[in-house]
């Protein structure tokens, strides 16, 4: 007798093939049969009118810290995600020596928009090395499946300490890093992740350690994947890192390279398509390069106490380096304002905020006298006041003790361009950033947004193709052999949904982080059930079924 049979579902197997009406049976956590009249089961679900697909594989998350206190990885577990890859961009918490813990947490407050109080109150530091970290996660249990990158910035800090932020590494230090990467691969890392992106800064605007690595260091560490004979190299690309250089790394190591974050910039609209063109050319030469793109507009909510969208500007550095008490004086300084204005007039390949003041809105004011300004763009408000937009924003915030909340649509706002990117043959649709930037935005429901907005709404691709992008394709890229498609013998990671309504809902703020700190989340719409290794974790009404067991697995074995 089967444990579960789902009857009458339109089954999308994750390969991109057209769906078929049928039944799927589960026994012992794996798919036991797919077809018709599969016989009795302890539980039967009538799925008429609904579609069944593999669970979403989210390959770009930052749950590295959260997983030590939240084993369900909220909100991803309620948004159809059954496997999450953590450690992206190399912003990990392992390996980490005890003397570097506070530095690591303080850096995450900036580069990943995390609360220092939450991190200090929540992270369970029962490890130092990457193998110890993975064993701790496995021992504590997880609600969904997890695969982990070993992260460059953590590896660099482990070897070099404070100097990791300041200088290039010596040959001996690079050799020590390589041994750590090899040990991590032996312990089951999915690969090695790094960042060269200019906006990736730690506390006080200090570059994250990976940004100090030279090309020889990158060649050596990516080469460790070649020695291991498996693993993915993931990089968030800065303006100075070229696709031809990344193709060299792919050729030398023989390993796949995933290039993030390819987001469309309306003020420099061709640059992302140039990168995708170069990735396609590399693929034509037999190199496994993939461009990581997002189906979501990149939006941020922020105050000028922590204005993440502006922190990629060199002219903003005086504010980044200053303590909060000094910010009012810096923001009032005419020379600071003029430097920022000038930089925004200069073209840039990669930059979050590009002077599009009409896309920067006033979300919430502190004082009632300013209440009528809410919901309007800074561009429109400045024009009405006869002021420069930067001056208007800074003056308003200064008059509200920097507590004014703004929201900005930064990238991916041109839907025609984004639609073209999503359809690119070498696109890896991801970039949820789940687990990070919790007060700025929440794209953990990126997969539901793809199915609702882009498939049902804009019809940029068939449903079966979109499902393949969320399941079978990432499984193939990352070597996750037993998940991502529905086939007999594979893990029963399943998502049951209504194609007519599936989507993510409106964002809302909840207070469930350690110490009651807030985060943004979005509920699922049209999601009727999620199963991880055969155990149901999301109910018909979309609520989490925590239960007494944690059905997820820490994935350690990947295809070569």
Contact status, residue 551 vs residue 47, Cβ threshold 8 Å: no
Q: Which of 161-165, 409-413, 529-533, 556-560 has the lowest mean pLDDT?
A: 409-413
Element (H or E) spanning 474, and its range?
helix 472-478
In this prediction, residue 540 carries a pLDDT of: 94
Question: Radius of gyration over alpha carbons of the chain, in Å?
Answer: 23
Contact status, residue 382 vs residue 355, Cβ threshold 8 Å: no
Pick the closest to residue 306 from 203, 412, 444 (CA basis): 203
For domain 56-297+412-516, which architecture applies?
A: Alpha-Beta Barrel (3.20)
Mean pLDDT of the chain: 95
In this prediction, residue 227 carries a pLDDT of: 98
Q: Residue 38: pLDDT above 80?
A: yes
Return d(Cα 24, Cα 487) in angstroms, integer.
9
Strand spans (E) along 41-101 = 41-46, 51-54, 56-58, 81-86
In this prediction, residue 387 carries a pLDDT of: 97
Return d(Cα 435, Cα 236) in angstroms, integer.
17
Q: Residue 109: pLDDT above 90?
A: no
Q: What pairing do the DSSP bridges indicate for beta strands 527-532 and 535-538?
A: antiparallel
In this prediction, residue 496 carries a pLDDT of: 98
pLDDT digits (tens, 9 = 90+) for 463-501: 999 999 999 999 999 999 999 999 999 999 999 999 999
Residue with tokens 């105050």: 303
Structure tokens at 200: 């990736």
In this prediction, residue 347 carries a pLDDT of: 84
In this prediction, residue 56 carries a pLDDT of: 99
> Cα–chain-centroid distance for residue 271?
21
Return d(Cα 141, Cα 552) in angstroms, integer.
7
Return d(Cα 474, Cα 309) in angstroms, integer.
29
Contact status, residue 90 vs residue 117, Cβ threshold 8 Å: no
Please name every residue paired with 6 in a beta bridge, in sequence order, or none if there are none: 24, 45
Orientation angle between helical segments 378-385 and 389-398, nearest 10 degrees: 90
Q: Residue 391: pLDDT above 80?
A: yes
One-character DSSP codes across 199-243: T-B-GGGPBPGGGG--HHHHHHHHHHHHHHT--EEEEEPPTT--H
In this prediction, residue 263 carries a pLDDT of: 95
Domain assignments of the chain as residue spans, ordered by start = 56-297+412-516, 300-409
Residue 450 — pLDDT band, cuts 50, 70, 90?
Answer: very high
Q: Which residues contact 245 (CB under 8 A, 6 or more apart)?
A: 215
In this prediction, residue 71 carries a pLDDT of: 96
HEC per residue, 295-308: CCCEEEEECCCCCH
User: For the chain, what percent of residues have pLDDT higher than 90?
Assistant: 85
In this prediction, residue 348 carries a pLDDT of: 79
In this prediction, residue 301 carries a pLDDT of: 84
Residue with tokens 């789940």: 434
Return d(Cα 391, Cα 479) in angstroms, integer.
50
Element (H or E) spanning 291, and its range?
strand 289-293
Q: Residue 111: pLDDT above 80?
A: no
Contact status, residue 538 vs residue 79, Cβ threshold 8 Å: no
Q: What pairing do the DSSP bridges indicate for beta strands 535-538 and 494-497?
A: unpaired
Return d(Cα 411, Cα 393) in angstroms, integer.
20
Return d(Cα 43, Cα 19) in angstroms, integer.
24
Q: Residue 309: pLDDT above 90?
A: no
Number of other residues whose CB lies within 10 A of the CB of residue 335? 10
Task: Work out the average pLDDT over 13-40.
Answer: 97
Task: Work out the average pLDDT over 324-343.
Answer: 96
Q: Which residues contact 471 (CB under 8 A, 6 or more apart)?
A: 14, 53, 54, 55, 56, 57, 484, 485
pLDDT digits (tens, 9 = 90+) for 185-241: 999 999 999 999 988 988 877 899 999 999 999 999 999 999 999 999 999 999 899
Q: Residue 136: pLDDT above 80?
A: yes
Query: What is the dihedral sign for C-alpha 316, 441, 121, 190?
Result: negative
In this prediction, residue 438 carries a pLDDT of: 72
Q: Residue 113: pLDDT above 80?
A: no
Return d(Cα 84, Cα 436) in angstroms, integer.
13
**Backbone region of residue 97 per phi and psi (left: phi > 0; alpha: psi in -120 to 50; beta: other values):** beta
pLDDT digits (tens, 9 = 90+) for 234-265: 999 998 999 999 999 999 999 999 999 999 99
Q: Residue 54: pLDDT above 80?
A: yes
Task: Work out the average pLDDT over 256-278.
Answer: 95
Structure tokens at 422: 């999503």
Pick the closest to residue 489 from 70, 26, 39, 6 (CA basis): 26
Task: Work out the average pLDDT over 326-335.
Answer: 97
Residue 115 — pLDDT band, cuts 50, 70, 90?
Answer: confident
């Amino acid at each position: 007798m089967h444990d579960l049979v789902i009857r009458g579902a339109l089954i999308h197997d994750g390969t991109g093939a057209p769906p078929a009406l049928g039944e799927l049976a589960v026994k012992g956590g794996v798919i036991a049969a797919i077809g018709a009249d599969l016989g009795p089961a302890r539980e039967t679900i009538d799925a008429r009118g609904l579609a069944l697909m593999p669970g979403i594989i989210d390959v770009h998350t930052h749950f590295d810290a959260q997983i030590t206190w939240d084993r369900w990885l909220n909100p991803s577990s309620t948004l159809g995600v059954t496997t999450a890859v953590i450690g992206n961009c190399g912003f990990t918490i392992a390996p980490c020596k005890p003397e570097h813990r506070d530095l690591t947490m303080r850096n995450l407050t900036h580069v990943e928009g995390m609360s220092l109080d939450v991190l200090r109150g929540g992270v369970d530091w029962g490890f130092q090395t990457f193998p110890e970290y993975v064993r701790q996660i496995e021992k504590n249990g997880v609600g969904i499946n997890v695969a982990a990158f070993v992260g460059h910035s953590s590896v660099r800090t482990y070897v070099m300490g404070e100097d990791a932020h300041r200088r290039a590494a010596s040959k001996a230090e690079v050799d020590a890093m390589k041994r750590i990467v090899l040990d991590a691969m032996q312990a089951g890392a999915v690969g090695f992740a790094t960042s060269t992106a200019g906006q990736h800064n730690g506390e006080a605007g200090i570059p994250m350690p990976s940004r100090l690595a030279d090309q020889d260091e990158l060649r050596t560490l990516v080469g460790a994947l070649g020695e291991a004979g498996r693993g993915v190299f993931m990089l968030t690309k800065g303006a100075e890192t070229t696709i031809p250089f990344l193709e060299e790394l792919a050729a030398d190591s023989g390993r796949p390279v995933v290039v993030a974050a390819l987001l469309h910039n309306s003020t420099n609209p061709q640059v992302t398509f140039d990168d995708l063109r170069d990735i396609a050319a590399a693929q034509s030469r037999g190199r496994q390069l993939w461009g990581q793109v997002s189906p979501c507009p990149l939006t941020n909510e922020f105050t000028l106490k922590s204005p993440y969208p502006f922190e990629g500007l060199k002219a903003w550095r005086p504010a980044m380096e200053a303590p909060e008490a000094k910010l009012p004086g810096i923001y009032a300084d005419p020379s600071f304002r003029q430097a920022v204005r000038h930089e925004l007039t200069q073209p840039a390949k990669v930059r979050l905020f590009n002077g599009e003041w009409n896309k920067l809105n006033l979300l919430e004011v502190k004082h009632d006298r300013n209440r009528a300004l809410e919901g309007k763009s800074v561009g429109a408000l400045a024009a009405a006041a006869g002021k420069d937009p930067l001056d208007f924003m800074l003056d308003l915030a200064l008059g509200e003790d920097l507590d004014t909340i703004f929201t900005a649509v930064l990238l991916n706002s041109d839907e025609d361009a984004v639609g073209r990117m999503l359809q690119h043959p070498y696109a890896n649709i991801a970039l949820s950033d789940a687990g990070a930037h919790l007060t700025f935005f929440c794209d953990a429901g990126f997969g539901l947004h793809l199915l609702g907005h882009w498939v049902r709404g804009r019809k940029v691709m068939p449903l079966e193709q979109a499902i393949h992008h969320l399941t079978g394709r990432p499984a193939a890229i990352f070597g996750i052999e037993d998940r991502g498609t529905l086939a007999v013998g594979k893990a029963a990671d399943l998502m049951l949904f209504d194609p007519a309504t599936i989507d993510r809902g409106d964002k809302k703020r909840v207070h469930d982080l350690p110490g009651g700190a807030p985060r943004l989340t979005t509920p699922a719409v049209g999601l009727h059930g999620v199963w991880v290794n055969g155990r149901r974790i999301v109910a018909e009404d979309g609520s989490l079924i925590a239960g007494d067991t944690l059905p997820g697995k820490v994935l350690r074995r990947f295809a070569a």
